[in-house]
Every structure is written in C-alpha cells, then in structure tokens.
Structure 1
C-alpha cells in the first residue's frame, strides 16, 4: 500500500506491526510505521502530523527566518546537532538555509503547542487542528481521519469522538466499587499498562481507578463492553460470571494459563474459563478429520494426543473429540484455529451425508465418472508409455484402468485415480476441497507448492465462486500429517504462515511465506515443492540408472556441476544424483517448473507445451539461453520459452513469475 503525505513529493508505504523500528521524528515506538524509499525515513503514524507543518516563521530561537521541514537529514555542510539541545538530529528536522542551523522535532514541539489556540478542558496539553489526518488513527475509535492532535503526548481524536469526554467519570459494571476516571495521557506507570479485562494495550485514552490501579480501555469500557454474565454458553450448563481482576488461573476449557478477567462458574466450585474459551462452539467440523468433533469436559483417563499439533492432551481439561473415532481428540485451541475450523457452529444441525463418490457404477466393468460425459470401461491391458492418465498425467503402463467407451474419445483413468474422492477435508483449507478437472484455457498455480500445473485433476476450495478461490494439485493435497520425510528424523507438521511469520526451506534455501511442513522443535522446515519431490526419477537421456534425491550437506566443500545445464550445483541444497555413475543434476533441470506436463497441451491460449528431445535445442526469447529443461513452450508465432518463469516474466505476469523458481541457467548462483 502506497500513499502521499501533504507537502511530500514522494510516495510512502506502510509497514505493519514493526514495533522495533525507531521513528525518525520521535525516537519512540508506536507500532505501524510509514517509510519513504527515496528519502529513507521512517515515521510512526502518530508523528505524521509534522507533515502538516512544513514551515515555521516565528520560532522564538530563530525569529525572522523560515525553518523548513526536511526529511533527508541535516545537510552535509551544516552542524548535524540541534542548535538548541545539542543532540544529534535525525532524518526529520527543521532547517534554516540562511543560517545553516538545524532544530530537532522535540525542540519544535514546545513552540507548536505554545502558539496553538486550542486548549480543551478535557486535555491537559494544547491541541493542534490537523488538516490532513487521513493517515492517523483516533485513540477512541481506532479509525483514520483524525481532527485533533496533541504534539506532546501524541494523543489523537476525531471531532465526532469528543463526546467521550462528556463523562470524565463513569461507574462501570466491571468495576462497581469505585468510579473510573478518564485519562488521555496513557496508563500511569504504577499500574499494569494493559487493560485489566482484555489484556490489550490501553493506548492514550482509557478509564482508570487509582485506588485499585485498575485500567479499562475504550473498547471494553464503551465500544464493546465484555458481558458481566454469560447465561447460555455452549460448553457449560450454568451461567458464567466475569471476574474483572488480574488473577492467575488455568482454564478448565483448554488447560492453558491466563492472567486476567476469567469467567467463573460459582455452582461448579469456581471452574474458570478464558473469555474466549467461555464462548467456544460445541459441535464443529475441522479440516484434520472427516467427522464432526464435539466439545467434551473432561476427556477422561488415557493417553490422548492432539490430531492437529500432535502434542499430548491433558485429559483432565476440556477438548474436542469424535464420537465415531473413540481415540481421536484435539486441543480446544487447536480445533478452533481459523486455519482449522470453518467458523460454523453445528450444534443442533442435522449432519448431512454428502455423496463424495466420484462415479456411478453401471455394472461390473462400466462406470460414469463425474468429470466425463461418456461411460468408462474397465480394462487391464498393458499400454505404451505415451498414453497418460487424465488425472495424474502419468503413464498407464500395466495398471488397471478405465477408458472411454467412445472410440473417438481418448479419456482414460487409472483405476486408483478414478476412485479419488470428489470432495474431502484437508489441512490446506478450513473448507471442503472439491475435485475438478484442470481447464487448459486457464493457467492455475498450486497455492501450496506455488507451481503451475498443466493438466490433471486438481482440488479447489470453491468451484462456483472466484472469491478467495484456491487450488491444490493432487500431490500436495494427498499429504497427511504427521508427515515423515527422509531428510529429517522427526515427523513434520503443517504450518500456516503469514503476518511476518516466514520460514526458510532446508531443501532449496528459499523463504516461504504461506505454507510449510516442519519440525518446530528442530527449526527444520520444508516448502511444499521440496516436500513433494519424487525420491527417485528416471531420465534415460542422461543416465540409465534411477536418480536419487540427495538432501545436501551444510558442511559440503568442493564443486559439482549439473550434467544438463552445466552450471554449478550448490551442494548445501538438494539435488538429484546417480549413486552408480556419480551424475549430479539440479532439481529444476529434472522436474522443471510445470507440474503434470503433457506434450501438445496448451498452457495459455496459443502457448503449446513441447518435449525438448531434439538435437537442436530452441533459444529462449527471454533469457537468451538454450532451452535445457525436459519441455519448452512455444506460442503461435513460433517464439520459444525455456520455462514458465521466462514466459511469465516476459509477459509481465508478476503474480506468477514472482512466485516461481528461476531456472539455474538464468541466474547465478544456481539453485
């Protein structure tokens, strides 16, 4: 997201949740920051008001000359220190070009406050009227577009939100013993600086009891007060009552510790619940299990292990269990994660039995598959390698298969592929995955491994709507957890990443931002591309023996070269090798960057996929290298591309090529 500040010619971008970044105006940290790539400054939201004051003509220390706001630091020909306080100035400062002197922001603020006519009875510092406050957040409603700002304490508020100051003292149901006083300069240092009810930072504006050292933020006090009593909760038969105080406890619903404001049941010897756990659903669907799970307190004696995180469950606390599978249970907090639960409460709703069978059986040898309009007949004759299964795009070989009863139709399926479920639950999505046949007119990328797929069956989160639709290929959607991989001694679990939580793949060294498989205890992670690589492959053109996936060695020394592209291989990352001949090959050179590739098919309209098996290899129009992969792309103008990466890059399809692996013959060092 980029935007412009008034009076600043370059656009700035917002960086969220970076508390550790130091502001170039105030030296303090207020969370979200704005950054200018041209001027190299970083400024907090609460300091953006400085851009409303581009020039000052009447500063008492420098009357008569103009002090102008600079965002690139003090000019080189001037003293870098502030003319008044002697401190070294930062990138945001005020400068007089005539006298070549500099003033830092702190020394300017006193003057700004002194000349402000806005002295409100509800705030102890003078305020300034902000003309361009779209990028600053109100301390009451947390929405942008403020009207008033206090330069000293960075208090900000809309004019429409000033009504809160009509009640400088309130009696609140969460603290009935004493009235609460309104503060606009943050919580006092002698208290717990967070809200005593929700645990969030109180910010500048809060209600406070100085006798009890009790703090209440605006959300809990005015906007969305926490209920004092919960009469009809799903997981407990009695009314629960809020205990609005700082108190350490262990939640009976999830077994985790808490430090403030639990709900308690007086009738049940003061059973305690986190506020969130008190409102847990009773019956839900989760993407790690095929059946519904329901909340149970307690699980009962036994050795229980969570079906999501695979950690031990303390059976004396609440958890979710399956009535059909007697040994299946999930931690309460694991079951209700947003990437596990579809957010639907099913208590009182009849469970619908869905038909997930992919075909209708007509007789012992004939079926009608939902992806094809003709009947399919069962056969077991060995076929040549060039005949590929429509679902997995692998040779039929000697496996039993179904082929189309129409002589003019080449539709053919392995028997095992014909039985792939039409709909299933999988940890990659909190909602059902629906099986469909890849449409050759639309290029799709698997959201798990981030590779383009050409043909075959795919799973989609929603085949009827484009809203947040996601696609997963058959290989990625077949992974189960715990996942065992030869590169690591322990089992690996699925990790949904995001919000700055990224992992580096041990296989390729590339940073993954969305999905990963990993062992948190060992800090070992794989992206889905590396996790699903075939352990052995055959490339008769380069070696008569099977090639084995080698997991690299961080202590490896020396050099090794790929027999296909003749570029150096990084021995610390994964590669394919022949144990008999010593042949070594890049991963990319073996598997390429298009999954389920099929000769003669089109990737996009007019772009054909062709085998790279001739003696003269075509030249890629993008990277100007010879096409070295097992396939290449050619459009209707006979223009060739060595990979989908080069095709997407040349056609400015940044959404695709920014997520694809670069061929080793295009970039150095090679991957």
Structure 2
C-alpha cells in the first residue's frame, strides 16, 4: 500500500473541491475489537479490518536504523496486522459539538473537529487522518513528488507545515527532495478548486498546482510551494493566503493606518519596514496621510508588525495611543510621578556615587540633572522621568504601558528585546497572551537609530525568528539593529550600553570601546585579566584605564541591590559587596564582583549562578 487514495474533483453545495478519497475507508467502517482469547475469530478472513494505533506505527519506525536521528520513516500500514501487532481498540467518535479538549498525541496538532479516533489502551485521541494516513500520498499542494510518512522528534531546528505554517513534529509527510513538510490533516484536507468571491479580485479564481512558476499580484513574490489561484480573464495570480489580506491595518512601525492598494504610481519607492525597493506593478500598503510611505504586503503583516485586526469600517480614533504625561508639575523643579507617592525635587548633577542609581533604568547617576525624593531613596534621571505612560513601539503591535514591577510578585522581569533581567521601570503589553516586556533603554530605540560605533543609520530587523550573531558581543541576537548598507548587525543589549560612564577610581568619563580598538588594550583595571578575548570594554582616554563591562557594572547591572527578587521559585536578597570583602560564590566558586544574591545563607554572584 505505497500510494493510497487520490484527490477527486467533487461538487458540494454548488462549490468545487479537490477532496482526498479512498473507497476502503469511506464511509468509516464500524470498528470492533476481537476477543483476545478467541483465536478463531482473529484468524477468520471475514474479520473486518482494524486500524493500527498510531503509537504502534511509531514504535515500528523507531526499530529501523536511519541516517537521520530526527526522522524515522513509518513502515507499518494503517491497518492492523494481528501477526505482528498487539490489538489496541480504536473507537470512532462523532460528536455534534466541536471537540477542542487536548490535542492529537501523534502529530501534536489541535482541534479535532467533530470526528476523531479514541484509543482505549493509550487513552489518547487521534485525528482521523493520522490514523488512516498511508505510507505515501500525492497532494495537489505539492504535485511534483510524492510525500512519504515520517515520524520526527520535537527537537531543533524548527520546521513548519507547508499548509498551516504551524510547527511540524510527530507524524508528518515529508518530501526529501524539496524539503516540504505537511501535517497528515493538512495533506488530506479538501482544497477549494474555485474561489467565487475572493477579497482581492472581482472574478472567480481557479486552483493552479504549478505554484513555483507564477508571481503573486497581491504580495509581489514568487514563492515556491505556495498554493496559487489564477484568473485567466485578467492574467491575475494570487496565493491562497494573499487573497484574504486585510484592507486597512495599523502596524507598529508607523503612526498612521495604512491601506492596501493593487499597484503604486510610477517611481522609485522603498519599503518602510525592510527598506528594500518596491515593485510598483504589484500590491502594497500605503499611508493616505504620508504621501511617501509604502510597505511590502508581506512586511506589513509580519508577527511584530500587525495585531491581526482588519480596521476597515472601524473609527480611526479607536487605535490612537495617547502620550499621557507621567507626572504632575507641582511647582518649578517639583513633580509628582505617577509611579511614586512622594514629591520629587530636581537636583543638579552631584559627585559620582555608585550606590545612587535611577529607579527607572537602574543605572548610576553619571551626569545630568535628576529628580530625588527627600523622604526615601527614590531617584530618577530627568530624562527617565519624562518617559510617557503609553507607548507604541516598533517591536510590538499592541500599545505598551509604563509600569513598575511589583515587589509582591517576582520583583523583576526579562526584557523581550535584549534578554536582560531587569528590576526597573518597564513597558508591558496589557494582553496576558502577549506577556511582552520592554525595559526603558530598549524602549528608547527608534528608527533610524544613530549608533556612535557605526557610520550608517541602523534599522530594526524584520524577521523576529532570525537570530544572527552580533558584531560586538559575538553572541546570537534576541532583537537586533541592521545596517542596510553594509551588513552591520548589533544586538539591543550592546546598543543600549551607556556611551560614557564613571569609574570610582578615575575622575574622568570612560567611553565604550568595541571591535578592533579593544585588541590594542592590554588588561582590565579591576580583574587584571587579559582583554584579547574581549569584544567591548570601557576606556578612559586621559588615563588609559580599561575595564570589562561586567567588572564595572556587575553581571546583573539592572537589578537593584537591597531588594528581594523571586528567581526560579526562591526568594533572594541582593547586597552590594563591601570594599573589604569579596565572598566566594557557592556555585561557580569565583569571587563576587558586584552584587551578592543571598538565599538561606547561600551566596551567589549572579542570576546565572542562581
């Protein structure tokens, strides 16, 4: 049973579909399990065939040695063979209500609909398609080659289904020539042969299986292995997903709404997101208020760009993010900030004290004016005090709200842009499903960004799933800025390092130094270790002092000393090391450089050791 069943053109309610069909499995047979003690019943050739539990097929696949550790070809037929397999009774369930509880245990998919199989022995539910999946299938979505049934372990790299673009693991169909993957449910799903009322065209569109040969008029891309529909009358081509692009949307990279247009006026235009040129003969999004702002269709609908809402017919006032002032001006030089109960007084820059730090960015007061509270130790940089209560940032599609992490919760958060553990102010999304937090240093990043260590303007990266190597720290970026001229990449962790700082044993400012300039320096003033393997340091031009970043700020510079933090289920209190002692970390056995994390008389030097 190499290739089982095929797709047929059928009519349903006046609409044409390509539907997978196999005469043996349609209609669904009444499944019954034979008595285990009745061998005559089992050997009776009139016995109705039973389907094999998918887990039995999975176990058979793992018995076969393959070159690929992650991929195991399924070798067992969907039907049960009593000679080789133990019988796991499968019961066909047909519920009137949509079944959402749990997921298919063999393909890791969800949404059973109304029809599925239940294995009494495993106590698991399976999609009908996963149970009946043949060893090979030929899909109109990928007509070039047959797809073979495999089981894939859920380990990196992440692969996605050609149809639904969800993660593909467990039971799946795979073309090893084209590197195409499909869930069994997606591979057997009915395909609309004709779409009568597409959103982006006036005429019906017909399914066209040769996807790789035509450029989509909606997105302007020639995408291999994408489902394509055509209009012969108009010479119009559209991917299936592109036909339903929204008409009016709001993206995180622009302050106004943008609307879809089928073509642009002649000229040389560049995308406001990826900064690449736009072909005027294909569809794109444009701003009606800004005559020169255009975005590729695909760029506009990216994960970090768009919140998934079509705003056609929705009043524009509904998506305005007001820049609410964060404080009340009591008198000249006196304010009441909404995140603090006492009045704050404007102070002129003082002598450097490493123990005095801003409650918002958690950096020391190196220079500039600041606000301080005379009733407690609450201090804010003047610039940090002015951060608005609401923010629409390019890294997130929803409005963000400025807040202070509650000491009754964890007391800290992880920034989704730079990955640092922070204890200061943050901008958070009000939607629980997002769980998005941005520290105020990363929130200050805007496009184009002028970085002191690079000669060209930098822009935020488009694809959130790409994790390139930062040119400064040589570590994979969580979020990054790119140069569109020279391939320069810098992560937000390095971007937001203070450009100049103070060191307690130097009366001058130290500036950040990176790249080849570091190689010319010899050793760190604090730890006295070599700097040859270091990519970024702080350097004093007057005294020629060089210091590691961790030696200057500590490994966790954005957590406040003297506070309690709940880390990995335990409450830790932070202390600043004294000048007379540097205790050993109980985990790494190294001297604590800056902060000390204490839990039950255990001393640790960093969150990593915690």
Normalising by structure 2, report the TM-score.
0.66
Secondary structure of the residue that 2:516 maps to in structure 1?
Answer: coil
Deviates more, 1:526-535 or 1:331-340: 526-535
Residue 65 of structure 2 corresponds to residue 25 of structure 1:
yes
1:516 to 2:476 alignment: no
Distance in 2 between residues matched to 1:568 and 1:6, nearest whole Å:
58
Q: Does 1:223 align with 2:189?
A: yes
Deviation of 1:184 (Å): 4.7
| Deviation of 1:474 (Å) | 0.7
User: For residues 416 and 525 of structure 2, what CA distance do their matches in structure 1 show?
Assistant: 31
The residue number in structure 1 matching 2:416 is 447
Tell me the CA shift for residue 332 of structure 1. 0.6
- 1:481 correspondence with 2:447: yes
Write out per-residue CA displacement over residues 606-647 of structure 1, whole angstroms, 9 at most, x where no aligned residue: 64444445133333333333322xx3225376654333333x
1:371 maps to which of 331, 339, 350: 339
Q: How much has 1:530 moved relative to structure 2? A: 1.9
Deviation track 1:68-120 (CA, whole Å, cap 9, x = no partner) reads xxxxxxxxxxxxxxxxxxxxxxxxxxxxxxxxxxxxxxxxxxxxx9xx9959x
Q: How much does 1:317 deviate?
A: 2.4
Does the Cα contact within 8 Å between 1:575 and 1:586 map onto a contact in 2? yes
Partner of 1:250: helix, strand, or coil? coil
Cα gap change, 1:6/1:231 in structure 2, threshold over 3 Å: closer, same or farther? closer
Q: 1:315–1:551: structure 2 CA closer, same or farther, 3 Å change rule?
A: same
Distance change in 2, residues 1:296/1:599 (3 Å): same
2:144 counterpart residue number: 192
Query: Helix, strand or coil: the match of 2:392?
Result: strand
CA-to-aligned-CA distance 1:476-503 (integer Å, 9 cap, x gap): 122123444344455444347676x542
Structure 2 counterpart of 1:431, from 398, 402, 423: 398
**Residue in 2 aligned with 1:461?**
429
2:552 match: secondary structure: helix
- Are residue 545 (structure 1) and residue 499 (structure 2) matched? no
How far residue 6 of structure 1 moved from its aligned partner, in angstroms, is 8.6
Corresponding residue number in structure 2 for 1:532: 496
Q: Which whole-Å deviations, capped at 9, do the CAs of 1:205-227 have from their partners, x for residues lacking one?
A: 99xxxxxxxxx998678524236
- Give 1:378 deviation, angstroms: 6.5
**Pairing partner for 1:507 from 448, 455, 472:** 472
Closer/same/farther in 2, CA of residues 373 and 632 from structure 1, 3 Å limit: closer
1:279 positional shift: 0.9
Kept after mapping to 1: 8 A contact 2:349/2:370: no
Aligned equivalents of 2:438, 2:321: Cα separation in 1: 21
Q: In the alignment, which residue of structure 2 is the partner of 1:251?
A: 216
After superposition, where does 1:329-408 map in structure 2 within 5 Å?
A: 329-351=294-316, 352=318, 353-359=320-326, 361=328, 365=332, 369-373=337-341, 376=343, 379=346, 388-394=357-363, 408=375
Show the counterpart of 1:642. Answer: 605
Q: Identify the match of residue 562 of structure 1 among 497, 513, 524.
A: 524
Q: Work out which structure has the larger RCO, using CA pairs closer than 8 Å and 6 or more positions apart in sequence.
A: 2
Alignment root-mean-square deviation, CA: 4.8
Please list the CA deviations of residues 209-263 of structure 1 after superposition, one character each: whole Å capped at 9, or x if unmatched: xxxxxxx998678524236124151x45x24412424263332222222567644
Residue 564 of structure 2: SS of its match in structure 1? coil
Q: Equivalent residue of 1:568, what SS?
A: coil
Q: Secondary structure at the match of 1:472?
A: strand
Distance across 2 between alignment mates of 1:385 and 1:546: 11
From 32, 46, 51, give the equivalent of 2:73. Answer: 46
Aligned mate of 2:277, from 290, 312, 328: 312
Q: State the Cα distance separating 1:452 from its structure 2 match.
A: 1.6
CA shift at 1:25, angstroms?
1.9
Cα pair distance change 1:333/1:634, threshold 3 Å: closer
Q: Is the 8 A contact 1:283 1:345 kept in 2?
A: yes
Cα separation, partners in 2 of 1:417 and 1:582, compared to 1, 3 Å: closer
Which residue of 205, 209, 212 maps to 1:241? 205
- Higher CA-based Rg: 1
Distance 1:128 1:554 in 2: 69
Partner of 2:247 in structure 1?
282
Contact 1:252 1:317 (C-alpha < 8 Å) held by counterparts:
yes
Provide the rounded CA distance (Å) in 2 between the counterparts of 1:343 and 1:611.
46
1:300 offset after TM fit, Å? Answer: 1.8
Give me the whole-angstrom Cα distance separating, in 2, the residues matched to 1:6 and 1:219: 19
Whole-Å Cα distance in 1 between the matches of residues 138 and 191 of structure 2?
Answer: 20
Shift of 1:306: 1.3
Partner secondary structure for residue 298 of structure 2 = helix
CA distance in 2, matches of 1:640, 1:199: 50
CA distance in 1, matches of 2:371, 2:294: 39
1:331 to partner: Cα distance: 0.8
Distance 1:518-1:194 versus aligned 2 partners, 3 A rule: farther
User: 1:525: Cα distance to partner?
Assistant: 3.2
CA shift for structure 1 position 560: 3.2
How many residues align structurally?
A: 492
Equivalent residues of 1:460, 1:472 under 8 A apart: yes
Contact residue 599 and residue 611 of structure 1 kept, 8 A = yes
> Residues 229, 414 of structure 1: CA spacing in aligned structure 2 closer, same or farther, 3 A cutoff?
same
Asked whether the 8 Å contact 1:252–1:271 carries over to 2, the reply is yes
How many Å apart are 1:436 and its aligned residue? Answer: 0.5
Flag structure 1 segments of 5+ consecutive residues without an equivalent. 15-22, 35-43, 50-112, 120-126, 148-157, 166-181, 207-215, 649-671
Distance 1:378 1:253, change over 3 A: farther
Distance 1:205 1:571 in 2: 44
Native 8 Å contact 1:608 1:635 kept in 2: yes
2:8 is aligned to none
